[in-house]
């Protein structure tokens, strides 16, 4: 049977029950619209939350951890070497925080094609002297240009110019720390290192990451300023932060270079395992809710086509009597279902896109996230592709079973009035 005739008959059946057809199409449209909107909005939020952590987190961090010496004197004694020794109150070994031969390590990492870039860093605990009160904090000595290129440092400087940090004896305070000290831009504050060295620092900006606990304790200065504060040479570095071409390479490379350099290494997957699990669960819930909407709309189409078959039994009998066989009748009703799915799904994708545009323009301002001005939305094309495919697949199966039932109708029974 020609497809043109099947399409013509399908169109006639749909227009004969126009209200039911529109209800089914609207159900598909609503489901696809909500599917696209929900995924775009939820994944936009996920990307924003991921960015708060992952943008500032190196893929691999090399450092020296202060820990007890595994070889205690009693274990070196011949008398007790074969005994099970219990040692209490073990003190950390006299190891150094700085990374030995950091220049050679940096050159080796730069030569690795898997590495996009790296940034040296010094993390030092200090006391900010505010009148008669000492406020504890951490000053991070950074290479300003590299920190900006690799970790979007400038995006989190909400007040002041991050490039002013290149000036000697300048500091950008975490917003929480600045509020605690009542420090304004241009003020000079005094910091005392753990070694007792004091330094005057000019406040040139505020840093706000959106993580209150981090902003309450952390501040930033140039790496040379922190070296000067600690009285250390230009080679003094406590951390080497590495960004890779592929995030998944981090665990393997961390182990590889930790053994080569004989230092400690943390990879991003291990450090942020719980955070990634939360992101995965939120994404899974979004897909589950969206697919549920599509399945519900599929049941609506199934019910409508079932009712259409009962109401059009005489039409089906006539079609079979004049030469339409069972596969032709099945194609007619599947064509109706697919038409509803394609038209309703297409309109739903368009409405979903405009809904996402609307959400993206809704103001969203909070002191915790000063860089976010509107609700985040992800316009990834895969959501539209998944929604379109599911609308066609769902409506196909919603029409397949009623179509199979219609194809099995015996025209003789219908004509006889049975």
**What pLDDT does residue 283 have?**
77
Q: How far apart are CA 91 and CA 36, in angstroms?
A: 57
Neighbours of 151 (CB within 10 A): 20
pLDDT digits (tens, 9 = 90+) for 88-101: 666 655 556 788 88
Cα 273 versus chain centre, distance: 13
**What pLDDT does residue 205 have?**
92
**What pLDDT does residue 94 have?**
52
Which two structure tokens, joined as six digits, stand for 150?
């690799």
Tell the burial category of 214 from Cβ atoms under 10 Å away from its Cβ (0-12, 13-18, 19+). middle
Judge contact between 227 and 141, C-beta under 8 A: yes
Q: How far apart are CA 207 and CA 93, in angstroms?
A: 35
Domain boundaries, the chain: 3-54+275-415, 60-80+92-268
Judge contact between 101 and 278, C-beta under 8 A: no
**Helices 326-360 and 18-54, packing angle to 10 deg:** 40
**What pLDDT does residue 30 have?**
84
Q: How far apart are CA 322 and CA 1, in angstroms?
A: 12
> Which parts of the chain have pLDDT scores under 70?
1, 52-53, 66-81, 85-96, 273-276, 305, 308-313, 366-371, 411-418
Enumerate residues 6+ apart whose C-beta is below 8 A from 273: none
φ and ψ of 256, to 5 deg: -60, -50
**What pLDDT does residue 279 have?**
72
**What pLDDT does residue 328 have?**
80
**What pLDDT does residue 351 have?**
93
Q: What Rg do the C-alpha atoms of the chain give, in angstroms?
A: 33
**What pLDDT does residue 221 have?**
92
Enumerate residues 6+ apart whose C-beta is below 8 A from 20: 304, 307, 308
**What pLDDT does residue 42 have?**
83
């Amino acid at each position: 049977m020609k497809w043109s005739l099947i399409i013509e008959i399908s169109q006639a059946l749909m227009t004969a029950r126009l209200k039911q057809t529109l209800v089914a199409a609207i159900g598909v449209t609503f489901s696809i619209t909500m599917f696209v909107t929900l995924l775009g909005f939820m994944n936009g939020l996920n990307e924003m939350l991921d960015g708060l952590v992952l943008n500032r987190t190196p893929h691999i961090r090399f450092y020296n951890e202060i820990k007890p010496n595994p070889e205690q004197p009693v274990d070196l004694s011949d008398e007790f070497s074969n005994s099970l020794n219990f040692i209490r109150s073990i003190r950390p070994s006299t190891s150094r925080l700085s990374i030995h031969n950091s220049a050679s390590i940096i050159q080796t990492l730069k030569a690795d094609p898997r590495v996009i870039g790296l940034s040296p860093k010094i993390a030092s605990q200090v006391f900010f002297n505010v009148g008669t009160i000492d406020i504890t904090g951490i000053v991070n000595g950074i290479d300003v240009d590299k920190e900006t290129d690799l970790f979007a440092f400038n995006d989190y400087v909400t007040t002041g110019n991050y490039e002013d940090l290149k000036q000697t004896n300048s500091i950008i305070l975490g917003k929480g720390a600045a509020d605690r000290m009542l420090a304004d831009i241009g003020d000079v504050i005094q910091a005392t290192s753990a070694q007792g060295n004091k330094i005057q620092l000019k406040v040139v900006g505020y840093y706000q990451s959106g993580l209150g606990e981090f902003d309450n304790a952390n501040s930033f200065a140039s790496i040379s300023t922190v070296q000067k504060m600690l009285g250390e040479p230009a080679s003094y570095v406590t951390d080497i932060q590495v960004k890779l071409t592929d995030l998944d390479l981090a665990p393997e490379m961390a182990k590889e270079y930790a053994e080569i350099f004989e230092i400690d290494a943390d990879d991003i997957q291990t450090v942020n395992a719980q955070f990634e699990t939360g992101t995965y669960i939120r994404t899974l819930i979004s897909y589950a809710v969206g697919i549920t909407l599509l399945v519900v709309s599929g049941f609506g189409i199934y019910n409508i086509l079932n009712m259409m078959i009962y109401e059009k039994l005489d039409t089906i009998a006539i079609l079979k009597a004049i030469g339409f066989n069972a596969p032709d009748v099945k194609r007619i009703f599947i064509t109706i279902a697919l038409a509803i799915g394609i038209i309703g799904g297409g309109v739903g994708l368009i409405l979903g896109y405009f809904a996402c545009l609307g959400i993206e323009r809704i103001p969203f301002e909070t002191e915790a996230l000063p860089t976010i001005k509107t609700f985040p939305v992800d316009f990834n094309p895969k959501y539209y592709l998944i929604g379109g495919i599911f609308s066609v697949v769902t409506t196909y199966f919603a029409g397949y079973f009623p179509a199979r039932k219609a194809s099995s109708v015996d025209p003789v029974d219908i004509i006889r009035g049975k």
